[in-house]
Copies of this chain bind each other. A is one copy, B any other.
């Protein structure tokens, strides 16, 4: 934390701020400048809310300096985290030189639907299957998912085709069941700061895929992951899925620069969701290529064999044959980065 003083702050005011800092058990470092004085602060600041210094006489503002995250940070672990997700057909690796493809429908609708989609995306090389059994919907009158029946269908997909299953939990109850049936527990964008749910996920035995909230800063995103790690679950992968901006031609604005930004600060892998990230079928392929080109550790893509009959998100789901083309193109782009798609 750095406290910036007014240009005409008095010696007395500067001394007063230093005294206050030291009364909090910290150390003050005044830096006299040609125009104004700034005061650096060192020591353990976790317990105190330093912003309050901003209201002392003579203070212009307080500027936070050190980042609040610990376990997710490269300071704590320098090398990339590489996750191994056990599935019936062997481990799927996420991170390092491996780019993971996660594919499947937005919502689990019927066993026939899921098996049909699974069979096709498997041919394109996907080894993780996505599909929502619990659907957070803006309207209480929209389809809310098949719940445990949906999880049973996913278990069938798992058993039949050897997929690892990625599916969303929306509260503690559903998380208990998702942990039982699935291979990766997804926490959705709307729940990125549902701290009760994050703590519960931190006590789960399965890896967690954490989506970025619609208006989450990078620090908030990493701190949400920190909640999970701080409870003991180190198997976390992040996922960018678009943020909310004024830009109105797509459902969200896919913030691909977050990928190198995360990689600079954290050892955790990060995937990209081009389906929610754009909300438009014709943008899924180009943004998937871009995501792999920017360095993402995987893609999570909505695929439906009959999108015009989908109970949700039909508008952004691509066809299995479009997914096949996508898999082929991203494979070539991954090769440019010396990575392989599993």
Interface residues on chain A, number (Cβ under 8 Å): 112
Across the interface, do A171 and B196 meet the contact criterion of CB distance under 8 Å?
Answer: yes
- The listed residue (B2, B171, B190, B332) touching A65 by CB distance below 8 A is B2
B253 close to A257 (CB less than 8 A): yes
Looking across the interface, which residue of chain B has its beta carbon closest to that of A250? Answer: B257
- In the complex, which of the residues A6, A290, A291, A311 has the most CB atoms of chain B within 10 Å of its own CB atom? A290
Complex contact A293–B283 (CB within 8 A): no
Interface residues of A in 3-40 (CB under 8 A from B): 4, 6-8, 20, 29, 31-36, 38, 40
- Chain B residues near A220 (CB-CB < 8 A): 138
How does the 8 Å CB contact mask read for A204-245 relative to B, with 1 for contact and 0 for none?
Answer: 000000000011011110010011001000000000000111
A277 vs B29: C-alpha distance when bound (angstroms): 32
Tell me the chain A residues, 36-82 only, with Cβ under 8 Å from chain B.
36, 38, 40, 42-44, 46-47, 49, 51-55, 62-63, 65-66, 68-70, 75
Please name all residues of chain B whose beta carbon is closer than 8 Å to the beta carbon of A195 when the two chains form the complex. 136-137, 140, 170, 190
Interface 9-mer from A93-101, A122-130, A151-159, A259-267: A259-267
Question: Nearest chain-B residue to A171 (Cβ)?
Answer: B196
Stretch of A84-92, A177-185, A312-320 at the chain-chain interface: A312-320
Chain B nearest Cβ from A164, distance in angstroms: 26
Distance A217 CA – B63 CA, assembled complex (angstroms):
17
Q: Which residues of B contact A253 (CB under 8 A)?
A: 243, 245, 253, 255, 257
Report Cα–Cα, A215/B242, bound state, in Å.
13
A136–B194 Cα distance when bound, in Å, is 8
State how many copies of this chain the complex holds: 4
- Describe A's contact surface by its main secondary structure: mixed
Question: Would you call A116 an interface residue if the criterion is a C-beta within 8 Å of the partner chain's C-beta atoms?
Answer: no
| Cα distance A230–B227 in the bound complex, in angstroms | 32
| Residues of chain A from 294 to 342 with CB closer than 8 A to chain B in the complex | 294-295, 307-308, 310-316, 329, 332-333, 336-337
Please tell me which one of the listed residues B52, B173, B217, B280 contacts residue A246 in the complex, with CB atoms under 8 A apart.
Answer: B217
Residue of B nearest to A193 (CB): B190
Known: A31-B42, A195-B170. A51 touches B336 (CB 8 A): no
User: Are the CB atoms of B170 and A2 closer together than 8 Å?
Assistant: no
Cβ A283 vs Cβ B257 within 8 A = yes
- What is the minimal beta-carbon distance from A161 to any residue of chain B, in angstroms? 26
A69 / chain B contacts, CB cutoff of 8 Å:
139
A255 to chain B, nearest CB (A): 6
User: Which residues in B have their C-beta under 8 angstroms from that of A260?
Assistant: 282-283, 286-287
Known interface pairs A140-B223, A243-B246, A286-B294; 10 further A-B residue pairs with C-beta atoms within 8 A, sorted by A's residue number: A51-B316, A53-B308, A63-B65, A68-B141, A245-B245, A256-B256, A257-B287, A293-B293, A332-B336, A336-B336
